Amino acid sequence: MSMQYCMRRQKRQCSPTQPQGFLMSAITHLVTSFAADLQLDKAPRQVVDRAILALRDFLGISLAEADSPLTQRLLRVANLSGGSGTCQIPGREERLSPFWGAAVLGTSTHHAELDDGHRGGHVHPGVTTIPALLMDAQRRPTAGTDLLSGLIASYEVSIRIGTAISPGAQYERGFHIPGLVGTIGSAIGVSRMRRLDQSSVEQALGASVLGPLAPFAAFSSGAAVKDFYGGWPAGMGILSNDLAAEGIPGPPGLFDDSMGWLTTVGATAQTEGFGDDLGSSWRILETYVKVHAACSFSHTPIDAALELHPHGTTAEDIAEVVVATHVFADRLDDTAPRTPQGARFSIPWVVAAALLRGRVAPEDSSQVALDDPTLRQLAKRVRVISDDEATRRHLEDDRVRPARVEVRYTNGSTRSAARSVGRGGPEQPLSETEVHQRFTTLLQGYDGDSAEQVWDACGQICRPDGVPTLIRTLSKMRRK
């Protein structure tokens, strides 16, 4: 039975509370059938290569964060919660339960604000899924083809769900979509990696109702707990599958019930034709790799600021900076962030860092950076304003994030630059060589040979011993 026929056959009269284009009993069946049936050898080579690149990119970030103060605190919380177990986090000796291992790994990695994402779907599918796959693979024999199939299934489903509810769920209702949708993708990914059939995938997906509500207030306030929007969904992907496996499934038809997930979180969801191209068009190819350690809404201002960064410019040379951008991004206007998280969500801060330091790396929002008086003073002179034309373009296509940066110098001169999309996305993708360079830069604190072994193990994950080899390689990683 074709997907199109299935959707026509199951079409029902929509109630007023159901999302536009709502098709009874179709969406849940489509995504769970896709996940259960996905075979890696049927996916295009470029999709498989992109999945491997996503795994490499994630591990570079996670290993860079392995010794961070946040990781230390998370490990203490896990131990206080009885989270010890057999699963090892990359770059650490501690062993945690699968749930807590995924939660700690996802949270610490998300903290760096370097994880990949999809602009139209407003999701970060790697950080909310890959930790679950890596932890679950440590407690059961797992083929590399199944791990990559789980990764791809998660990306394809979560990006489509995020796109269906965007931008309304975020702009109108205040959800943090990566945290909200992440549990769905994680549950789907683990189910596929475990080779579950369609009915079992649906039971595990139903249990993802236990995922975080994810109000955007945690993001906008710069609260440290926001980083858990990366880790909690990852842990929930494992827990959802474990609950279903023990006969504690969630509701069937999660996306289709009149009081189900889509109606609850996305009353304006656009689901007409949802899933028609599953298995023929691959959303993973539309994801971005972050060039800057900051919220993706700030990447166009950062790229514009970097164009204006003349060698030798000092804070005293700059009288004022004006950033004109679209709705929502114009709210990231805190000129005096108090936490690393707040700094990474502050356009004034990251633009100031770009102008003074010629980069926006993780260390540029560290506590040390926050104590830099020069950087703090310049950030206070960066003004973010709303631009009607930028907003119009963004609301027409929320993958477009226009920004114009104007620098007014103390000598009376002015320079400006504008960007519509950030580097690292499908319009200006990073090459594998560039991603590898970033990988090695992030892992400068490790032995160079061991870092290359991680990179190579990801590329060889489809070999018969591919997953055990990767897990062993990660378990040996220690800083110099």
The tens digit of pLDDT for each residue in 56-79 reads 999 999 999 999 999 999 999 999
Can you tell me the mean pLDDT for 180-188? Answer: 97
Q: 85: which 2 tokens?
A: 């177990």
Phi, psi of 56 (to 5 degrees): -60, -45
Can you tell me the mean pLDDT for 25-51? Answer: 95
Question: Which is it for the CA torsion 361, 391, 125, 110, positive or negative?
Answer: positive
Report whether pLDDT(25) > 70.
Answer: no
Report whether pLDDT(263) > 60.
Answer: yes
DSSP structure class, residue 407: E
Angstrom distance (rounded) from CA 377 to CA 382 = 9
125-165 residue pLDDT tens:
999 999 999 999 999 999 999 999 999 999 999 999 999 99
In a 13 Å sphere around the CA of 452, the CA atoms on its Cβ side amount to: 3
406-464 residue pLDDT tens:
999 999 999 999 999 999 999 999 999 999 999 999 999 998 799 999 999 999 999 99
Report whether pLDDT(13) > 50.
Answer: no
Are 189 and 154 contacting, i.e. CB atoms less than 8 angstroms apart? yes
Per-residue pLDDT at 267: 58
191-206 residue pLDDT tens:
999 999 999 999 999 9
CA torsion angle 344 348 351 356 (round to 10): -100
Per-residue pLDDT at 377: 97
Question: Does the N-terminal peptide bond of residue 251 adopt cis geometry, omega within 30 degrees of 0?
Answer: no
pLDDT above 70 coverage of the chain, percent: 94
Per-residue pLDDT at 258: 85
Per-residue pLDDT at 441: 93
Is residue 220 very low, low, confident or very high in pLDDT (cuts 50, 70, 90)?
Answer: confident
Residue bearing the bigger pLDDT, 263 or 238: 238
Contacting residues for 471 by C-beta, under 8 A, at least 6 apart: 88, 134, 137, 138
> What value does the mean pLDDT of the chain take?
92
Pick from 119-128, 167-176, 185-194, 215-224: least confident: 215-224
Q: 52: which 2 tokens?
A: 């491997």
Per-residue pLDDT at 270: 78
